[in-house]
Structure 1
Amino acid sequence: MSSHAVTRLLRPFIRDRLLHILLLIGVLLFAIEPQPLSVFRHVIDWRTINTLLGLMLLTKGVEVSGYFDFIGRQIINALHSERWLALFLVFSAALLSSFLTNDVALFIVIPLTITLKKLSALPVNRLIIFQALAVNVGSLLTPIGNPQNILLWGESSLSFMAFIGQMAPLAAALMLSLLAITWLSFPARNIVKKAPTQSYPYQKLLLLGCVVLYGVFLVSLELAQPLYGLLTVFIGFLLLARRVLLQIDWSLIFVFIMMFIDIKLFTELQVMQPLFSGISALPDSAVYSLGIGLSQVISNVPATILLLNYVPSSALLAYAVNAGGFGLAIGSLANLIALRMAGDRRIWLHFHYYSLPFLAWAALIGWLLL
């Protein structure tokens, strides 16, 4: 491997402030209450890590093929208004997340949205922020839309459709709210297109390879063998386009690994155990607030896992942890993925300008609907 390739691989790790903070937190928590190092490999959700890495590789492969440029040009030619384009992208992200999960939806819509930056003067960062909100809204509707719903559904006695019926009022209210905010946040002016500098061809062989690898990867996930699917994808890109392996955000994988480790260390602190043991005796309002609050600290999936140890799966808990996906970026892993894929540090502060008020609104609406 050339020195240029090594530098390209290491650069994200050197610049990744979030990873540095998580490493520091992990060291401090470990110093307070040391544990055998062998424990950590068991607390990491390797299925999530393998799935995330596989999707990152496949999405980058499609991006490198140039197909997103081609599709982006088709969309801009069909939708001339910034407002209608934003509504289309937001609704598409929400719809995809309902049935493909929020992470998968992001790996489809975010690279396509980033491509629009090359083609027009659109506020791409704002579009990405609204798509991050959209996948959190859309995914809360179904039992398979996000990891917390999968957990809640598994612990409940509800059928697939009954779970949707439970979540539909909150999903509908928040979707209408988000579409209204999107309408107000994007003007009706015509999209200012940049003069085309190329015909936007795409590499059909690489695109076809990505499609085939994606199919293999989905089968591996269905068979609960994500590692074999990931190895197939990795080998495929070694043969098709090695540059794809250098262009993905490898440090994001380590961010998620450190999140699993830090959450494990935090939830097992002896000083926290008396607080956790009292959760089962809390009134509904306190459990609802705790579900939202914990999501802001440790993300909504770990918050769901923690709370299910003390309270039953219910609409109350489902509404709380799904509302908790808004607010701070850490509230939902989907937020972190979307903001990292944007590749612009300025987006993090701008995201909270929209997400924090939306958290307050989602929490209020959720409580009123219970």
Structure 2
Amino acid sequence: MSTLLRSFLHDRLLHLLLALGALLLLLADFRWPDLPRAVDWHTIVTLTGLLLLTKGLETSGYFDVLGARLIGRFRHERALALFMVLAAALLSTFLTNDVALFILVPLTLTLRKFSRLPLSRLIIFEALAVNAGSLLTPVGNPQNILLWSHGKLSVAGFIAQMAPLAIWLLLTLLALTWFSFKPRAIEKHGNDDARQWQKPLFALSVLLYLVFVAALEWQMTGWALLLIIGCYLLMARRVLTTIDWSLLAVFIAMFIDVYLLTHLPLVQRHFDAVAHLGDGAIYLLAIGLSQVISNVPATILLLQKIPPSELFAWAVNIGGFGLLPGSLANLIALRMAQDRRVWWQFHLFSLPMLAWSMLCGWLLLRLLS
């Protein structure tokens, strides 16, 4: 219980969001009964399940085994970084960006037991990679799911629409990875104890992972979460007490803050004008709004006035780069990194990536139109 309370008491981001929410409560035009509906509870339930399952796999010790094998396979930092970036981009195209991070970031963190690597920088690049890779498919991230469901494109048509941007950004990211990681040999150090792992807990976590993914498809996520909690209560209660519960509070606070922000009288007064904006203005608005309220809420908000066009889809996906709130995946990756320095280091790579993506995206759109 003390560990749980400490995570809430030391969460500066949560405190900032709560303070902002208190201010917005005084300024926004809203009804109190509408606040609970402002939270996307399906996302919260999904995130809770993924946090539990990832912690279950981590507690089983299998990430240590996998990390040792990964370190044994690569000799140089650059080769390992390129592999992890490609893996993050590929997984995010069909597992969604959040799930890809929940698999790769804990695995990345175990590498410190076997070698000396710039792990925080590697996690930053994995966050950038899932933003670049997930934009390719209609199921890669939540904003694409929304855009695809509101549009008329087939799966193949959506992929064809997004492919030029996805390919270019992935090539850019691979080039950036090449120059950001040195070709020096990985300094390895043995750790025989790390190879011990709990096979029953690992098998249970994998089985529950498959059940949870199926439940997402069948819209039975709540029941699956109850099953997961019940199984870990019986087999590994430590999983329930050691996950980042304050991260869930951060997401709830973000949803409420975004709702209040969009209900400010000044915002509501000018919102109708969005439907009459030109392509350039929509492009900049979607990217800029993503930087402030994240690209998923920005997509939800703008879909009320703008059709799900190619330009709109490109813009909100590009908006995932840049500032930390641009994509919820950024927040997940950096929270899991457990390194205070990573918060400002992230922007050293993400802000240039945003500027480059904005420029290249606009030029590609003009070229292809």
Q: Are 2:292 and 1:297 aligned?
A: yes
1:196 CA displacement: 2.0
Q: 2:189 aligns with which of 190, 194, 197?
A: 194
1:37 CA displacement: 2.9
Matches within 5 A, 1:61-210: 61-198=56-193, 200-210=195-205
Q: 1:223 aligns with which of 218, 226, 231?
A: 218
1:153 CA displacement: 0.5
Q: Which amino acid aligns with 1:44?
A: V
The one-character-per-residue Cα deviations of 1:44-86 (angstroms, maximum 9, x if unpaired) are: 1111000001000000000011000000000110111100000
Unpaired segments of 5 or more residues in structure 2? none
Q: Which amino acid aligns with 2:123?
A: I
Specify the alignment match of 1:23 in structure 2: 18
Q: Is the 8 A contact 1:120 1:193 kept in 2?
A: yes
Specify the alignment match of 2:352 in structure 1: 357
Q: Are 2:248 and 1:253 aligned?
A: yes
Q: Are 2:283 and 1:288 aligned?
A: yes
Q: 1:273 aligns with which of 268, 272, 282?
A: 268
1:310 CA displacement: 1.0
1:343 CA displacement: 0.8
Distance in 2 (alpha carbons) for counterparts of 1:66 and 1:235 = 21
Q: Is the 8 A contact 1:209 1:240 kept in 2?
A: no
Distance in 2 (alpha carbons) for counterparts of 1:63 and 1:90 = 21
Distance in 1 (alpha carbons) for counterparts of 2:266 and 2:105 = 41
Distance in 2 (alpha carbons) for counterparts of 1:128 and 1:194 = 21
Distance in 1 (alpha carbons) for counterparts of 2:122 and 2:213 = 28
1:168 CA displacement: 0.2
The one-character-per-residue Cα deviations of 1:18-59 (angstroms, maximum 9, x if unpaired) are: 100110111111112364432111111111000001000000
Q: Which amino acid aligns with 1:151?
A: L
The one-character-per-residue Cα deviations of 1:223-273 (angstroms, maximum 9, x if unpaired) are: 112111111111111011001111110000000001110111111112111
TM-score computed with the length of structure 2 as normaliser: 0.97
Length, aligned pairs only: 365
Q: Is the 8 A contact 1:97 1:138 kept in 2?
A: yes
1:151 CA displacement: 0.6
Distance in 1 (alpha carbons) for counterparts of 2:28 and 2:322 = 30
CA RMSD of aligned residues (A): 0.9
Q: Is the 8 A contact 2:288 2:319 kept in 1?
A: yes
Distance 1:115 1:10, change over 3 A: same
Decide which moves more: 179-188 or 210-219. Answer: 210-219
Q: Which amino acid aligns with 2:53?
A: L
Distance in 2 (alpha carbons) for counterparts of 1:332 and 1:231 = 28
Matches within 5 A, 1:30-49: 30-33=25-28, 35-49=30-44
TM-score computed with the length of structure 1 as normaliser: 0.97
Q: Is the 8 A contact 1:113 1:128 kept in 2?
A: yes
Q: Is the 8 A contact 2:54 2:102 kept in 1?
A: yes
Q: Which amino acid aligns with 2:76?
A: S
Q: Which amino acid aligns with 2:122?
A: L
Q: Which amino acid aligns with 2:270?
A: L
1:197 CA displacement: 4.7
1:221 CA displacement: 1.2
Question: Structure 1 runs of 4+ off > 4 angstroms?
Answer: none
Q: Which amino acid aligns with 1:134?
A: A
The one-character-per-residue Cα deviations of 1:134-174 (angstroms, maximum 9, x if unpaired) are: 00000000000000000111111100000000000000000
Distance in 2 (alpha carbons) for counterparts of 1:264 and 1:132 = 26
Q: Which amino acid aligns with 1:328?
A: L
